[in-house]
Amino acid sequence: MKRIEFTIPVNPATKKNSQKVVRNRQGKTFITQNQRYKNYVAETALILNAVRGKNDIREPIDEPVNVRAHFYRSSRMIVDLTNLQECLHDVLVDAGILADDSCRIIVSTDGSRVRYDKYNPRTEVVISPLISAEDMTERNRMIP
């Protein structure tokens, strides 16, 4: 797998803080995502389809990777980095870029940050393959 870099030019959203309680016709209440979050997912899906094509991703990545994300938000409102990452990981799986968002595939998120950019909110993503300790040991044996 090669390193993949791309930018999602949409104000980052969190799944957890985008929930609302609604009541269906039978009177039963349930929790769903608000329209802002649904719009974020829809816009991101279009962008990630283009990323798949540009990077020739035919099958979802199913090997250990680091997903570094710099989230540039349009407001200085405090947000949890982990909530932003959860949303990003979910859309990466939904778009078929990653096979799963479990710890077997997303091994680390080293280098991720939340920043402020009022006029250009976005998420800059780098997906890098990880070399396992076993591979490093084998590689070190080969080097004279």
State pLDDT tens for residues 100-115.
999 999 999 999 999 9
pTM above 0.85, yes or no: no
* Residue among 68, 71, 97 at smallest CA distance from 13: 71
Q: Distance from first CA to last CA of the chain, Å, rounded?
A: 26
Please state which of the ranges 55-59, 62-66, 111-115 shows the lowest mean pLDDT: 55-59
Spell out the residues 6+ positions from residue 25 whose beta carbon is closer than 8 angstroms to its own.
Answer: none
Q: Looking at residue 134, which CATH number applies to its domain?
A: 3.30.1330.70
Q: Which domain holds residue 97?
A: 4-142
Highest mean pLDDT among 16-25, 35-44, 65-74, 124-133: 65-74
pLDDT of 82 over the 60 cut:
yes
Output the pLDDT for position 144: 55
Query: Which residues are within 8 A (CB) of 120 and not within 5 positions of it... i.e. 6 or more apart?
Result: 9, 72
Report phi then psi at 105, rounded to 5. -110, -55
pLDDT at 39: 87
What gap in Å lies between CA 109 and CA 129, rounded to an integer? Answer: 12
Mean pLDDT of 35-48: 89
User: Does the pLDDT at position 70 exceed 90?
Assistant: yes
**In total, how many domains does the chain have?**
1
DSSP 76-103: -----HHHHHHHHHHHHHHTTSBS--ST
Residue 68 pairs in a beta bridge with: 126
114-126 pLDDT per residue, tens: 999 999 999 999 9
**Alpha carbon distance 85, 135 (integer Å):** 28
Residue 18 has pLDDT above 60, yes or no: no
Note whether 61 and 102 are within 8 A (CB). no
Beta bridge partners of 73: 116
- pLDDT at res. 124: 98
For residue 122, give the nearest of 79, 86, 69, 67 by alpha carbon.
69
